Amino acid sequence: MKQHLIIVTILLSLSTTLMADFVDTSYKDTIISVRQAIQCPDDTWVILKGQIVKRIDDDEFIFQDSTGEITIEVSRFAWKNQDVTTDMTVIISGKIDQDGTTVVNVDKIEIVSPPAATKAPTASPH
């Protein structure tokens, strides 16, 4: 029984290690605006910070920052089991696809700030 517990513990720790991912914070210096991304040539790697504000279809969304909006196509792997809402700030990274319109093919989504906490209704003073 003790040996089984040790084996299970080892297997669990290995699976957790395999699921870990390298977090590179140096990229934050290379974040560009949506306005700049729209001007980038095809196949340029970009990193944008803003909000995903609207779903167009299963894998297409509108991404917005203070300079404008751009269509993004998000692979199912990019979500990494994260729930993202329109009031969250995210950093997305992916490649520009210039095929008539500019689209970012997103490979990674990082939540920067969770949604603002909603205030509980206050009781009326009457």
pLDDT of residue 115: 74
Cα end-to-end distance, the chain, whole Å: 65
Q: Which of 85, 88, 54, 58 is nearest to 74 (CA)?
A: 58
Average pLDDT over residues 11-19: 56
Rounded to whole angstroms, the Cα distance separating 3 from 25 reads: 41
pLDDT of residue 126: 43
- List, in order of start, the domains of the chain with CATH numbers: 28-113 (2.40.50.200)
pLDDT of residue 15: 54
Tens digit of each residue's pLDDT (9 = 90 or more) over 51-100: 999 999 999 999 999 999 999 999 989 999 999 999 999 999 999 999 88
Average pLDDT over residues 96-121: 84
Q: Are 86 and 52 in contact (CB under 8 A)?
A: yes
